[in-house]
């Protein structure tokens, strides 16, 4: 990769050269036709040259330092077997701009290719945090009984919770995984859908099945559901139960009523962990946000011992970068 240098815009220019010890990994780091380096140039405002296992950086002192951290972080993730894609690049860039990098970027840069400090291992993949908020969330999943995960779609709230639950189910630290969602229509009516009750509610629970299938082989998912180790059900099916020795996840919690939320939270039993995921700004309940059991619960319970609230923003979206920009555009408009 060699192009005509970008003219300096000011006297505050800095240069750096990085040398990587595994030349065979450079193709993955640079991307096809150097597309990963081109993306970094565009996002960080630096000029990059690459020859063999050496990468030259030129730009402002701040942009060069950020690009150096990002490249080291990406390289060490490749060493660990991760695939560099657009989402990972955007996530590492976002983390590199955070003021506290010790938990992720600096660990990646100085760890000599070792394992990251935070990870979740499942049968099919190992999940590592892609944003600072995800890193905090993964720590909280290990340390608190009840965790509220609040934020827009695409931030990994439910996915990470399912992965943590699957990991604990595999190790035997819990006996059951219970996944629940309110069956609330977003413009459709259940009564007009074909089939029996299970067939009517399954479309609302499909994202939970998708997350499970990402963490476990399909035959294991089916076997564990058949045996009762994994249960996926609408929130209405939780009434009257006490859920012990279980990892319990409530998804789309913004679509619960205050009464439903109270009922769900009080199902908590011995040796259990409960995660409540939702976007307070996206309720489908009649009456709008004020009717949401999620908003009501957060207002009542913040600060309660043993309960943690993790908040995500548009900068934590780890789907395609355009999803984050869409979220920002909607959040920037007044209702």
pTM (2 d.p.): 0.67
Q: What is the mean pLDDT of the chain?
A: 80
The closest alpha carbon to 155, from 102, 62, 78, 87, belongs to: 87
| CB within 8 Å of 183: residues ≥ 6 apart | 190, 200, 201, 204, 234, 235, 236
Residue 33's Cβ-count burial label (10 Å; 0-12, 13-18, 19+) is exposed
Q: Within the chain, what is the greatest distance between any pair of CA atoms?
A: 71
How confident is the model over 117-164, as pLDDT tens digits? 577 878 877 787 878 888 899 989 988 999 999 999 888 899 999 999
Overall average pLDDT of the 46-56 stretch: 90
Rounded to an integer, what is the distance from CA 117 to the centroid of its chain? 16
Mean pLDDT of 23-52: 89
Bridge partners for 49 per DSSP = 56
pLDDT at site 196:
54
pLDDT tens per residue across span 223-277? 998 999 999 888 888 888 888 999 999 999 999 999 999 999 999 999 999 999 9
Task: List, for residues 169-226, the tens digit of each pLDDT value.
Answer: 988 889 999 999 887 654 445 455 555 555 656 666 777 888 888 888 889 998 998 9
Encoding tokens for residue 53?
A: 């296992």
CATH architecture of the domain 14-110 equals 2-Layer Sandwich (3.30)
- Give the pLDDT score at 206: 78
Instruction: Report the C-alpha gap between 332 and 236 in whole angstroms.
Output: 35
> So where are the chain's domains?
14-110, 120-331
Whether residue 3 is predicted with pLDDT greater than 80 in this model: the reply is: no
Q: What is the pLDDT of residue 117?
A: 57
Residues 6 or more apart whose Cβ sits within 8 Å of residue 238 = 178, 180, 263, 264, 267
Q: Who wins on pLDDT, 327 or 42?
A: 42
Give CA–CA dist 310/144, Å, rounded: 11
The predicted-structure confidence for 58-115, as pLDDT tens digits, reads as follows 998 888 888 888 898 888 888 877 778 777 777 777 666 654 433 444 444 334 444 4
pLDDT at 48: 92
Among the listed residues 268, 317, 297, 289, the one whose alpha carbon sits nearest the alpha carbon of residue 94: 317
- Residue 5 has a pLDDT of 45
Q: How is residue 248 written in tokens?
A: 């319990």
| pLDDT higher than threshold 70 for residue 333 | no
- Residue owning tokens 């779609």: 153
* pLDDT attached to residue 45: 87
Is the domain 120-331 a CATH 3.40.50.300 member? yes
User: CA 293 to CA 273: how far, in whole Å?
Assistant: 19
């Amino acid at each position: 990769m060699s192009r005509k240098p970008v003219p300096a815009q000011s006297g505050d220019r800095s240069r750096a050269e990085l040398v990587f010890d595994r030349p065979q990994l450079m193709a993955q780091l640079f991307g096809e036709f150097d597309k990963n380096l081109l993306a970094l140039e565009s996002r960080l405002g630096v000029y990059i040259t690459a020859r063999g296992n050496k990468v030259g950086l030129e730009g402002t002192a701040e942009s060069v330092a950020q690009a150096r951290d990002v490249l080291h972080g990406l390289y060490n993730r490749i060493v660990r077997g991760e695939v560099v894609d657009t989402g990972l690049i955007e996530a590492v860039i976002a983390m590199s701009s955070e003021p506290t990098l010790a938990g992720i970027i600096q660990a990646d840069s100085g760890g000599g290719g070792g394992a990251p400090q935070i990870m979740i291992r499942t049968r099919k993949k190992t999940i590592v945090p892609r944003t600072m908020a995800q890193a905090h969330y993964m720590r909280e999943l290990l340390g608190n009984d009840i965790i509220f995960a609040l934020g827009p779609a695409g931030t990994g709230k439910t996915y990470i919770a399912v992965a943590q639950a699957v990991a604990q189910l595999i190790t035997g630290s819990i006996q059951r995984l219970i996944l629940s969602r309110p069956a609330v229509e977003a413009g459709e009516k259940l009564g007009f859908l074909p089939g029996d009750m299970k067939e009517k509610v399954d479309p609302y629970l499909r994202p939970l099945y998708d997350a499970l299938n990402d963490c476990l082989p399909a035959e294991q998912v089916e076997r564990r559901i058949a045996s009762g180790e994994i249960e996926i059900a609408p929130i209405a099916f939780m009434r009257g139960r006490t859920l012990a020795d279980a990892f319990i996840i409530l998804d789309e919690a913004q679509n619960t009523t205050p009464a439903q939320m109270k009922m769900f939270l009080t199902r908590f039993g011995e040796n259990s962990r409960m995660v409540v995921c939702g976007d307070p700004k996206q309720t489908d309940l009649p009456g709008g946000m004020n009717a949401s059991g999620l908003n009501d619960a957060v207002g009542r319970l913040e600060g309660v011992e043993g309960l943690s609230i993790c908040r995500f923003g548009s900068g934590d979206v780890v789907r395609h970068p355009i999803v984050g920009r869409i979220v920002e555009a909607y959040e920037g408009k007044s209702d």
